[in-house]
Amino acid sequence: MSTATPTSTGAVGAAGRAVRRHRGALLVVLLVVVTALALALLRPRTDEAALAPGSADPAGGRALARVLDAQGVTVTEARTFADASRALGPGTTVLVTDPDLLSAQRLRVLAGSGADLVLLRPSAETLEAVTGDVTPTGGASTAVRDPGCADPDAVAAGPARAGGLTYAASGGATACYGGSYVRAPLAAGTLTVVGQPTLMTNRWVAQDGDAALALRTLGAHPDLVWYLPDPVDTDSPQQPLTALLPPWTWPAVGVTGLAALLVLLWRGRRLGRLVDEPLPVVVRAAETVEGHGRLYASARASDRAARALREATSRRLRAWTGLDARADVRDVADQVAWTTGRPAPAVRELLAGQDPRDDPALVRLAVDLEALERDVARQVRSTSPRKAVQP
């Protein structure tokens, strides 16, 4: 025994008819969703951080990391100081992509671990915590330069991409490539300062001697720690976010809140309910149309009058031909031409042609538009005799 009520049956039937009526749109939406899911699932997941060993972006370091791995160098990516510290020791190279994010204490730990330390674009404060033999001197334009030094790795690499930040070497340090590549001894290892890190990126590593210089710098030992410092990973005591606000923040918030309250009290008052106000006179529609026409005539605005006539005709033609209210005027012209048998170019010229230059041309346009509407209405009535035409 069926328990379905007439109301539920009607609702199910209406839903089924709605689905059948819009099945094309539903299929398109379903296809878009399936395509988006497929692209999201098939898209290779790579790191997008700059100089990350897993990033395939032009600014990433995936190409260099792949070559180092192929040459037997174990590349370990570290995002925290704890992860980087576990891999420190002699026979290890540590690349720090953003050393200015590290405290002086952490920099001294890296420098005293016995590993070869590579710093990219370090500042003067960062270098002071590691060595006194390398100091920043400013910057230089990016260009391919010769080594200009006796460092064996730089000499073997030959001309390479240089520039960016430059440094001066003193004591036992050696400056190459105009100061953008400096080698300095540490207590138990070496320090390499690179002022132009782009030579290690996917975009430039294959140019000139960039690859040779990068591979010799990072591949001297069988283990490489690729350290990308995180600004959140800090050894300073945790402070609330409110401690970072300037002292004038809370007074400013109080003044702003008081001003907002005054504005609400001023503009939010109620004047009572809305009431209807009768107009002093009633203007007939014909008089309004005639007044607009006289204004257009006095201003010699035949172009605006023509646009008004064409827009009104196009609106009525859309309704008669069953087109959408937002259909383009060219589509309206093509449909009207098909309905009436008129040439399509002539209909398009009538609905969206040049504006009339004078009043006689405007009158002719109005007459032609009226004749076009009569033709369309006649054809629509002849093909659908039982359907009333709504202009």
The edge-to-edge listing of strands for the beta sheet with 174-176 is 74-78, 223-227, 92-96, 116-120, 189-194, 181-186, 174-176
At 135 the pLDDT is 94
Give me the amino acid identity at 187: A
Q: Residue 227's closest CA among 91, 49, 105? A: 49
Average pLDDT over residues 82-88: 89
pLDDT digits over 221-238, tens only?
A: 999 999 999 888 876 555
Q: Which segments within the chain are labelled E, that is strand?
A: 74-78, 92-96, 116-120, 134-145, 160-169, 174-176, 181-186, 189-194, 223-227
pLDDT digits over 369-390, tens only?
A: 888 888 888 888 887 654 444 4
Burial tier of 101 (Cβ tally within 10 Å: 0-12, 13-18, 19+): middle
Q: Return the biggest CA–CA distance within the chain.
A: 103
Q: How confident is the model at residue 240 (pLDDT cuts 50, 70, 90)?
A: low
Angle, nearest 10°, between helix axes 302-321 and 344-352?
A: 130
Q: Which two tokens stand for residue 247?
A: 């002292």
More confident residue, 124 or 268: 124
At 110 the pLDDT is 93
CA–CA separation, 101 vs 230, rounded Å?
A: 7
CA–CA separation, 136 vs 142, rounded Å?
A: 16
Q: Does residue 385 come out as left (phi exceeding 0), alpha (psi in the -120 to 50 range) or beta?
A: alpha
Average pLDDT over residues 139-167: 94
Quote the mean pLDDT of the chain: 83
235 inside domain: no
Do 73 and 174 fall within a single domain?
yes
At 307 the pLDDT is 85
Domain of residue 306, residue span: 288-383
Domain stop point among 175, 200, 227: 227
Residue with token string 């646009």 = 307
53 inside domain: no
Do 102 and 206 fall within a single domain?
yes
pLDDT digits over 353-365, tens only?
A: 888 888 788 888 8
Do 220 and 322 fall within a single domain?
no
Percent of the chain residues topping a pLDDT of 70: 83
Those residues with Cβ within 8 angstroms of residue 115's Cβ, 6 or more apart along the chain or in another chain: 88, 89, 90, 91, 92, 93, 94, 189, 221, 225
Under a CB-based contact definition with an 8 Å cutoff, are residues 374 and 383 in contact? no
Do 305 and 217 fall within a single domain?
no
144 inside domain: yes
pLDDT digits over 322-355, tens only?
A: 888 888 888 888 888 888 888 888 888 888 888 8
More confident residue, 286 or 5: 286
Those residues with Cβ within 8 angstroms of residue 110's Cβ, 6 or more apart along the chain or in another chain: 84, 88, 94, 96, 102, 117, 130
Those residues with Cβ within 8 angstroms of residue 198's Cβ, 6 or more apart along the chain or in another chain: 59, 142, 161, 164, 204
Do 196 and 103 fall within a single domain?
yes
pLDDT digits over 112-142, tens only?
A: 999 999 999 999 999 999 999 999 999 999 9
Under a CB-based contact definition with an 8 Å cutoff, are residues 337 and 343 in contact? yes
46 inside domain: no
Split into its structural domains, the chain has a count of 2
CA–CA separation, 127 vs 105, rounded Å?
A: 12
Domain stop point among 195, 211, 227: 227
Residue with token string 């800090």 = 234
CA–CA separation, 355 vs 337, rounded Å?
A: 21
Domain stop point among 227, 247, 263: 227
257 inside domain: no
Q: Which two tokens stand for residue 24?
A: 């094309």
Do 72 and 218 fall within a single domain?
yes
Phi and psi, residue 323, nearest 5°: -85, 160
Do 302 and 178 fall within a single domain?
no
Q: Residue 226's closest CA among 85, 53, 48? A: 53
At 388 the pLDDT is 44
259 inside domain: no
At 37 the pLDDT is 74
More confident residue, 124 or 7: 124
Residue with token string 């383009």 = 328
314 inside domain: yes
At 272 the pLDDT is 67
270 inside domain: no
Average pLDDT over residues 64-86: 93
